[in-house]
Amino acid sequence: METHRHSLRLTAGNGAARAYVRKCEFRIGAPLTFDENDPNLTACDYLLGAAAGELVTGLDRLARRRRLTLDRIEAVLHAELAQPLAALGTVGEQGVPRFVAIRITLYVDTLEDPAGIHALWHDVLCRSPIYQTLRACVAFEPRLELT
Amino acid sequence: MQPIIVGAVLYDPKVSVIWDIIRDFFEANEVPMDTVFYTNYELQVSALLAGGIEVAWNSPLAWLDAQRRSENGCRAIAMRDTDRDRCSHLIVASDGPIATLADLRGKTVAFGAQDSPQATLIPKEHLLRHGLGETDYVTRRFDLAVGKNGDHIGGELEAFRCLQRQEAAASCLIDLNWNSWTADGTIDPARYRILTTTGRYDHCVFTVRHEFPREREAPFLHALMAMDYANPKHREMMDLEGLKRWEPGRVNGFELLTAACANQQFFAGR
């Protein structure tokens, strides 16, 4: 089958971008920030949020379709950025800034059979394009914890 | 006015946030500033002397290096109030056997990074002045973030951890860290005490080359000195920078470090 083409349109100005997709739009602040008080979502926030969000919503939706009850899903994501000073253009820094590790743990409250949930999780991973793309270039460790 | 180009060494990417705030402050005071970040002070000093930057936020060691390499061709134009009259402590276990400096003979002393003025060079000079040469004690050094001249607290913290593990009889740290770590619980002041305190020394300093034009220096200093701790809008920025007032630069606070570098041949071969 041919690939599906996914398109966004963006405009930029005043240090931020606005992305338009379908009939939706969202604002993107800096590429990356080290300022805990920066009120704007950065491109890296979106990337990591998308990586986690895909798995969380993917699990929730596939569970519903299979009529499995998940009472609550929470996730925590930790990512490691290598060469962060290179992102700031620091003189003397070697290499390029890149995420070298992404670890995400999903905590799922459920009374369903654990084997069924792990099979569901496996299928979610297989169906998740962001995860499948990123795992090819970064140490991506998704983990499921049943509570 | 063309932007004044200021260099700073980053020991953590979050430090860039402080410089963004400073730059915005200068811009708001109609003194445009561009910042260039460096991974280490040696590169920054090279850039200052080559004219790549006009002002360098230098560590005390970088100040000495700039003077050494330019044959005293630099000027110290400003420093924080907290950069003046610092000291370092050698600390020991309160219930341990070390009662005097002489008791350190033959014992292990934990230091920070090799290029840390406050946690290595000056404490070693202090020991030397009190009759303990390099061979009179065992040096245990924690070379974290070498090149950043001890800006990174990791070396001092690891030195203290070494003391905690009883792998050293004493460890070295700047007074500011002793004050904050005994306040926040990192160091239990009931279990550790100050054995000895070094003489006073000055720390970081804004450095320029002699030929830096006075017509550019004046607005830079004017904007800098306009920071007012009493102004709530300035206070957060000044807290991040760790000062309450900017002071004129002075060069008489580097005697201990100058002697330390000479006696320890720090710049030999550089």
| DSSP state string for B106-124 | TSEEEE--TT-IIIIIHHH
Q: Do B4-83+202-252 and B88-197 agree at the fold level? A: yes
> In this predicted model, what pLDDT tens digit does every residue of B174-221 receive, in sequence order?
999 999 999 999 999 999 999 999 999 999 999 999 999 999 999 999
Check if B94 contacts A (Cβ < 8 Å): no
Residues 29-68 on B with a CB inside 8 Å of A are 36-40, 43-44, 47
pLDDT band for B110, please (50, 70, 90 cuts): very high
Contact A87 B36 (CB under 8 A): no
pLDDT over 90 (residue A128) = yes
Q: Quick check: B134 and B101 in contact, CB under 8 A?
A: no
pLDDT over 90 (residue B269) = no
Please tell me the predicted confidence (pLDDT) of residue B233: 85
Rounded to the nearest integer, the mean pLDDT of chain B is 96
Q: Which amino acid is at B10?
A: L
In this complex, which of B17, B36, B39 lies closest to A34 when CB atoms are compared? B17
Nearest C-alpha neighbor of B9 from the set B55, B74, B58: B58
φ, ψ for residue B89, nearest 5 deg: -115, 145
Q: Considering only alpha carbons, which residue of chain A is nearest residue B9?
A: A90
pLDDT over 90 (residue A16) = yes
Give the three-class secondary structure for B229: coil
> In this predicted model, what pLDDT tens digit does every residue of B233-249 receive, in sequence order?
899 889 989 999 999 99
Superfamily of the domain at A42-146: K homology (KH) domain (3.30.300.20)
pLDDT band for B106, please (50, 70, 90 cuts): very high
The domain ranges of chain B are 4-83+202-252, 88-197
Alpha-carbon B157 to chain mean position: 15
Rounded to the nearest integer, the mean pLDDT of chain A is 97
Q: How far apart are the first and last CA of chain A?
A: 40
Contact B38 A92 (CB under 8 A): yes
Q: What share of chain B is helix, strand, coil (3-state, %, to 5)?
A: 40, 20, 40
The mean pLDDT value for B123-145 works out to: 97
Name, in order, each residue with C-beta under 8 angstroms of A45's C-beta and a sequence gap of 6 or more.
none
- Token pair for A145: 């914890």
Please tell me the predicted confidence (pLDDT) of residue A50: 98
Alpha-carbon gap, residue B151 to B172, rounded angstroms = 14
Number of other residues whose CB lies within 10 A of the CB of residue B9: 28
pLDDT over 90 (residue B270) = no
How wide is the angle at C-alpha B26 spanned by C-alphas B203 and B66, nearest 5°? 35
- Token pair for B158: 């690891």
pLDDT over 90 (residue A102) = yes
pLDDT over 90 (residue A97) = yes
- Token pair for B37: 């970040």
- Residue B17 with chain A: CB contacts under 8 Å: 34-35
- Token pair for B160: 């203290």
> In this predicted model, what pLDDT tens digit does every residue of A24-59 receive, in sequence order?
999 999 999 999 999 999 999 999 999 999 999 999
Check if A91 contacts B (Cβ < 8 Å): yes
Q: Quick check: A40 and A29 in contact, CB under 8 A?
A: yes
pLDDT band for B251, please (50, 70, 90 cuts): very high
pLDDT over 90 (residue B125) = yes
Check if A84 contacts B (Cβ < 8 Å): yes
Residues 14-53 on A with a CB inside 8 Å of B are 34-36
Task: For chain B, state the CA radius of gyration.
Answer: 19
pLDDT over 90 (residue A104) = yes
- Token pair for B207: 């450095």
The mean pLDDT value for A72-89 works out to: 97
The mean pLDDT value for B127-136 works out to: 97
Q: Which residues pair with B173 in a beta bridge?
A: B89
b/e burial code for range B223-248 (CB count within 10 A of at least 16 → b): bbeebeeeeeeeeebbeebebeebbe
pLDDT band for B250, please (50, 70, 90 cuts): very high
Alpha-carbon gap, residue A52 to A50, rounded angstroms = 5
pLDDT over 90 (residue A146) = yes
Q: Quick check: A53 and A76 in contact, CB under 8 A?
A: no
The CATH number of domain B88-197 is 3.60.15.10: no
Contact A35 B14 (CB under 8 A): yes
b/e burial code for range A62-98 (CB count within 10 A of at least 16 → b): bbeeeebebeebebebebebebbbbbbebbbbeeebe
Where are the extended beta strands (E) located within chain A?
9-13, 16-21, 24-28, 72-82, 98-109, 139-146
pLDDT over 90 (residue A1) = no
The mean pLDDT value for A67-75 works out to: 97
Superfamily of the domain at B4-83+202-252: Periplasmic binding protein-like II (3.40.190.10)
